[in-house]
């Protein structure tokens, strides 16, 4: 089973930030910033190429709530979704990284 499906179903523990019937936000196990959260839809989609516009629309509202809960909405944050081999995606279940809590090095 996909590791993030197992987390969504509670079969693998996670440090939860916010949960709804369709989405889950939890802390990354290997943080790359002072705050490093992951947001997933509970439904399995491999990556951004696969996800439906309606799920993305609902996930946008959920992610806006997550950054409020994290307290980084006004201080700022970076949101990243890696896709495929060249994008460096390791877990094939769409997820958005939210990196925050410090001044981040510029990527682009």
Residues with a catalytic annotation lie at: 95
Q: What distance in Å separates the CA atoms of residue 25 and residue 11, rounded to the nearest whole number?
A: 15
Residue in the structure block whose two tokens are 């939860």: 16
Which residues lie across from 79 on neighbouring strands? 98
The pair of structure tokens assigned to 87 is: 């994008």
Rule CB under 6 A: is residue 88 a binding residue for ligand AMP? yes
Q: Residue 94 in contact with residue 81, Cβ under 8 Å?
A: yes
Tell me, residue by residue from 36 to 75, as one string, x for binding to ligand AMP by CB under 6 A and - for no binding.
--x-------------------------------------
Selected from 20, 43, 82, 104, the binder of ligand AMP by CB under 6 A is 82
Residues that bind ligand AMP (CB under 6 A): 3, 12, 14, 28-30, 38, 82, 88-91
């Amino acid at each position: 089973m996909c590791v993030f499906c197992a987390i969504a179903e509670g079969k693998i523990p996670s440090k939860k930030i916010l949960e709804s019937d369709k989405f889950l936000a939890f802390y990354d196990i290997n943080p790359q910033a002072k705050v490093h959260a992951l947001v997933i839809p509970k439904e399995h989609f491999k990556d951004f190429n696969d996800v439906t516009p309606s799920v993305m629309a609902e996930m946008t509202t959920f992610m806006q709530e997550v950054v409020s809960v994290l307290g980084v909405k006004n201080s700022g944050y970076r949101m990243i979704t890696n896709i495929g081999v060249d994008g460096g995606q390791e877990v094939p279940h769409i997820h958005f990284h939210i990196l925050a809590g410090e001044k981040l090095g510029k990527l682009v």
